[in-house]
Amino acid sequence: MKRLRMGLIGVGGIAENRHIPAYQALTEHVEIVAVQDVNLVRAKEVAEKNAIPNVFEDYLKMFPHVDAVTICTPNKFHEPIAVAALNQGVHVLCEKPMAMNADEGKRMLEAAEANNKIFMIGYHYRFVDSVMLAKESMQEVGAPIVTRVQALRQRKVPGWGVFINKQLQGGGSLIDWGCHLLDAAFWLLAPSKPIEVSAQTYQRLSKQPNQVNDWGSYDHEAMDVDDHVSAYIRFDDGSTLLFECSWAANIKADKTHISISGENGGVNVFPYEFYQPKHHRMMETRADTKEDQQEAAFLQAQNFVDACLGKDTLKSNPKDALLVTKVIDAIYESSEQGKSISIN
């Protein structure tokens, strides 16, 4: 059986803690044959630690040696690397978000379609057990009315990497964390599509000196991305979505929440619960679901590898990822202009 030859571009925490373990659990179908990073010393360390035979300083030189790559770089580099790989006939799994903006995302999608290559964005929440069960429940929920999405962390601005650097990341809590929940919610709500956004972004808390921050220290003066976002999103079927995300909220505890109220029932995702009027009363159904991020990462890797080998189709379509990026663009634009923004 042919094994997919995989290369990793960028060997930071997301590569080491999520993607490498996932591919190593699929050794019958995929082999990590190369890594690349601008920090060559770090790349060699990761390669030696994980018995990966080849190390490259230039990702362009990697392409002839691999069938697929996984891109784990800062957001600024997603588009040029993905387009270069796709144009060289290499399949691409790119970490979320898709790109810095929708224009970059369109170029990535066009390159994938022009070269007939598998192209996936790492929105692994689609592979979380409770999200998948919620997807199966949507027919019973019926036409959606109101969706509520919260991706809130209590004082957890990432104190490592380049997360607070707008030039390299394009944004903060929204583009890093909120995007996961938006993608999952849009997937559940499909075929309903967002058409208008009214939003406000903030960076007040993270600009304060003497930070209380559970995820390490950072330079508050250098902080130039959002730490909190709220948005009201209208859909083409008349339904709405209330959205909030934060890295640094003054709240009791972290909160990850998606709930959908529909015409026939309602679903809460974390934890999974289903509500329905039945027998002249409200009935509640619960399920023993898992919210295991590592298992979701494994299932995502398996889906991507199988799609590259022609054995499966992608559960996370890049056109859906582009829609998320369009909504992110609209949220930032709405906040900047102080008005609602239509989504093309």
Query: Are the C-beta atoms of 86 and 115 separated by less than 8 Å?
Result: yes
End-to-end CA separation in angstroms for the chain: 44
Query: How buried is 286 (Cβ within 10 angstroms: 0-12 exposed, 13-18 middle, 19+ buried)?
Result: exposed
Q: Which CATH number is 127-293+324-342 given? A: 3.30.360.10
- Residues in the chain predicted with pLDDT less than 50, given as ranges, are none
Which neighbouring-strand residues pair with 279?
Answer: none
Q: List strand residue ranges (DSSP E) for 205-340, in order.
A: 228-235, 240-249, 255-262, 266-268, 273-278, 281-286
Distance of CA 215 to the CA centre of its chain: 20
pLDDT at position 2: 84
Q: For residues 151 and 229, what is the distance between their CA atoms, to the nearest angstrom?
A: 10
Amino acid in the structure at residue 246: S
**Residue 283 burial (C-beta neighbours within 10 Å; 0-12, 13-18, 19+):** exposed
Measured distance CA(171)–CA(308) in Å, rounded: 31
> Which runs of consecutive H residues, i.e. helices, occur in the chain?
13-14, 20-24, 40-49, 78-87, 102-115, 129-141, 166-169, 173, 179-189, 293-308, 318-337
Top CATH class of 4-125+296-311 equals alpha beta
> What's the CA gap between 78 and 97, in Å, rounded?
9
**Which tokens sit at 17?**
């803690």
Closest CA to 246 of 190, 317, 172: 172
What's residue 344's pLDDT?
85
Pairing verdict, β 91-95 and 119-122: parallel
Sketch the domain layout of the chain as residue ranges. Answer: 4-125+296-311, 127-293+324-342
Share of the chain residues as helix, strand and coil, in percent rounded to the nearest 5: 40, 25, 35
Pairing of strands 341-342, 4-9: unpaired
pTM over 0.85: yes
- 52-108 pLDDT, tens digit per residue, is 999 999 999 999 999 999 999 999 999 999 999 999 999 999 999 999 999 999 999
